[in-house]
Amino acid sequence: MNLTFHGQSCIEIRFKEHAIIIDPFLRHNPKAIVKPEDIKVSYILVTHGHNDHLGDSLEIAERNQATIIAPNDLCRYLAFQGAKTHPMGIGGSFEFPFGKIKMTPALHDSSYNPPGTQESIYAGMASGFLIQAEGKTIYHAGDTGLFGDMQLIGNLHNIDLAFLPIGDNFTMGPSDAVIAARFLQAKMVIPMHYDTFPIIEQDPHAFVQSLSSEGIKGQVMEPGQSLEF
């Protein structure tokens, strides 16, 4: 499979016959080098309703006739907007054509602010995703603080790659993300959700060095960079 990092928490994954994108915040993402119209996928995974995660999901879904996979309450709102959705709940799993998805907890809030309004729409519980496909297990933690059940997630699943937020302020910072990596026992960790805005500026290379000192493999991906996995 091929993975491309588009900045913030947006990950595009291309399998042999399918492609998905997670948290496609692109058009208003100062770090992204692609636009929503460049994305060709059949499924869109959204961890929660914040604008920097739901992002361009509706536009991409309409353009590609793609299905949005997201927490149940968020899917209800998106379905009202005309999107094709597959709602899920924390702890639930489902077998899709590209592989199996399990929705995991995330310690974070979730609401959606329609652009140009002062409205805040409840979007259900924030989440993460475990993706099992082509013999690999990928964990996208979503926006979250450190929580003890990450150790349970690591014990129950043989995680090949984990995407963890390190931006601090709204999510885990680098030091907590190192503990999360240790809990998860992931074979490799890639930092996300940092540097998009001044309040979440971090040094991802220092984070990877901290992982290395713990015997954990880490890698920094620049926006637009791809990885064969």
> Average pLDDT in the 121-146 region?
97
Spatial separation of the C-alpha atoms in residues 95 and 85, rounded to whole Å? 15
Model confidence pLDDT, tens digit, residues 171-216: 999 999 999 999 999 999 999 999 999 999 999 999 999 999 999 9
H or E element at residue 78: helix 72-80
Q: The pTM is what?
A: 0.97
Domain residues of the chain, as ranges? 2-221
Mean pLDDT of 59-81: 97
**Average confidence (pLDDT) over 70-82:** 97
Average pLDDT of the chain? Answer: 97
| pLDDT > 90? residue 27 | yes
Packed helices 72-80 and 57-64: angle between N→C axes, nearest 10 degrees? 60
When the candidates are 1.20.1560.10, 3.40.50.300, 3.60.15.10, 3.40.50.2300, the CATH number that belongs to 2-221 is: 3.60.15.10
Q: Return the CA Rg of the chain.
A: 16
Give, to the nearest 10 degrees, the angle between helix 204-213 and helix 174-184.
Answer: 40
Ordered DSSP codes for 91-122 = T-EEEETTEEEEEEE-SS--EE--TTS---EE
* Predicted confidence (pLDDT) per residue in 31-56, tens digit: 999 999 999 999 999 999 999 999 99
Question: Cβ distance 174 to 206 under 8 Å?
Answer: yes
What is the pLDDT, as a whole number, of residue 229? 87
pLDDT of res. 228: 94
- The torsion defined by the Cα of 191, 169, 44 and 24, in degrees rounded to 10, comes to -80
pLDDT for 148 equals: 98
Flag whether pLDDT at 87 surpasses 90.
yes
How far is it, in rounded angstroms, from Cα 40 to Cα 20?
8
